[in-house]
Structure 1
Amino acid sequence: MKKLKKLKKLKPVFLQGLMAIIPIAITLYVLFWLVSMTENAFGGMIRAVIPDKFYITGMGVVAGLLIIMGIGLLLRFYVFKKLFVQLETMFDTLPIIKSIYGSIHDLMSFFDSSKKKEFSKVVSIDLMDNGCLLMGFVTREDFENISTLMDGKDNIAVYLPMSYQLGGYTVFVNKSKVKAINMSIEDAMRFIFTAAVSTKKT
């Protein structure tokens, strides 16, 4: 019995250690996976050009970073940006590829700081007028070019993401149903995607 009680006392300590190490372990694993994938992909290209004896481990990662930086710089020029837009348009016309590309593109947009402005503010909505609030992001307030969709109402577009998965709903609601929340976009995303489990101070 005494041993059982001692084990019960150790349980909270074990869980505390587990909760501390799991986020770090998963983060390191993802970083290791990304580095390994980059090294294998670009390292193979380099080995096809130079002899193996001249190859140094890590050259693939460096080459990958340089190529990504180079593409980023090229996309700052109008000609290359135009070509990239045409490539995206082509992907959007292919039946199966457009679904895969569109999903990945939307996912990457969440991490694009230059597009955070699309989520202009964090808000709560009482859609059913019953006190049950939904948290979301205002994505658009001006509908002059698609006024027929709004039917002249004083509506705004709010994106309601779902917790623990990629996806959500875009709803068009009257401004009177929306209340601004004093929270940053990043904190709100973390709060929603973890189903309010996030322990970060907001």
Structure 2
Amino acid sequence: MKKYIIAGLLVWLPLAITIWVLLWLTGMMDGMFHGLLTALQTVLPVALGEALERLRHIPLLGAVVMVLILLGTGVFVTNIFGQWWLRQWDRMLSRIPIVKSIYSSVKQVSDTLFSSDGNAFREAVLVQYPHAGSWTIAFVTGRPSLEVAAHLPGEHVSLYVPTTPNPTSGFFLMMPRSAVHALHMSVDEALKYIISMGVVAPPPPAPPALPGGADPNRRG
């Protein structure tokens, strides 16, 4: 019986977690949509406010509207006028006390992580952490700043060591380049390896191709 229960759990658990994540995302989008409706109801006439109230009860409307808003915003800010408007928006927020500290920090991190031109999380490496003889997977996020690098002997790299099974929390380290071992696995494969606590191992790297297209695994 235990064998069959575990087999059934392995079938339904990934589906249940997938549904839970999707429900969490749609719930978050619905909450943002309801907040937008509440803000509009405070400035619009009563008749329009009552019409907007009926939109709250349409299933998945909030998720659809928020996706369309994100899509429209992305299309808008990728043209010349949208980029000019975005610069003005950033300049305005950077002049507001308290807000400018939070906004500028979050924007700098998000631009670094999600920009296609950034180098964050582009390489998975193997390092000794938290002590010698204990190894873990980390991600190279860049190099120490000039002020910090001036106090470090030799070449160092900045690393992010995620925790498992939740990789959104972790530790920021600066280690000598010589103590960092590059891995062939991709960032996605390394994240799966970390989240699964080592259960889902990445595939072995493909052998180098031989001259003339010969198969390196062929014998004789």
Deviation at 1:71, TM superposition (A): 2.0
- What's the CA shift string for 1:124-156, capped at 9, x where partnerless? 11368843222101111475x436544452211
Q: Distance in 1 between matches of 2:92 and 2:153?
A: 36
Q: Distance in 2 between matches of 1:83 and 1:24?
A: 44
Deviation at 1:192, TM superposition (A): 1.8
Classify 1:198/1:32 alpha carbon distance in 2 versus 1 (closer, same or farther; 3 Å): same
1:28-177 equivalences in 2 (<5 Å): 28-39=19-30, 41-42=32-33, 45=37, 48=49, 50=51, 52=54, 57-76=59-78, 77-86=82-91, 89=94, 93=98, 98=102, 112=114, 114=116, 117-126=119-128, 130-141=132-143, 143=145, 145-146=146-147, 148-165=149-166, 166-177=168-179
Q: Distance in 1 between matches of 2:88 and 2:19?
A: 36
Q: Is the 8 A contact 1:156 1:173 kept in 2?
A: yes
Classify 1:119/1:91 alpha carbon distance in 2 versus 1 (closer, same or farther; 3 Å): farther
Q: Distance in 1 between matches of 2:127 and 2:86?
A: 38
Q: Distance in 2 between matches of 1:25 and 1:108?
A: 32
Contiguous gaps of at least 5 residues in structure 2: 41-47, 205-220
Classify 1:198/1:116 alpha carbon distance in 2 versus 1 (closer, same or farther; 3 Å): farther
Residue 119 of structure 2 aligns to a residue whose secondary structure is helix
Deviation at 1:187, TM superposition (A): 1.1
Q: CA RMSD in A?
A: 4.1
* Map of 1:6 onto structure 2: none
Residue 141 of structure 2 aligns to a residue whose secondary structure is strand
Residue 182 of structure 1 aligns to a residue whose secondary structure is coil
Q: Is the 8 A contact 1:92 1:98 kept in 2?
A: no
Q: Distance in 1 between matches of 2:92 and 2:198?
A: 39
* Map of 2:7 onto structure 1: 16
Greater share of helix: 1
Deviation at 1:89, TM superposition (A): 4.9
Which residue type is aligned with residue 82 of structure 1? R
Residue 125 of structure 1 aligns to a residue whose secondary structure is strand
Q: Distance in 2 between matches of 1:17 and 1:64?
A: 36
Q: Distance in 2 between matches of 1:36 and 1:129?
A: 41
1:187-198 equivalences in 2 (<5 Å): 187-198=189-200
* Map of 1:4 onto structure 2: none
Higher relative CO (Cα under 8 Å, sequence separation at least 6) belongs to: 1
Classify 1:146/1:134 alpha carbon distance in 2 versus 1 (closer, same or farther; 3 Å): same
Which range moves more in the overlay, 147-156 or 171-180?
Answer: 147-156
Residue 48 of structure 1 aligns to a residue whose secondary structure is helix
What is the TM-score normalised by the length of structure 2? 0.63
* Map of 2:187 onto structure 1: 185
Contiguous gaps of at least 5 residues in structure 1: 1-9
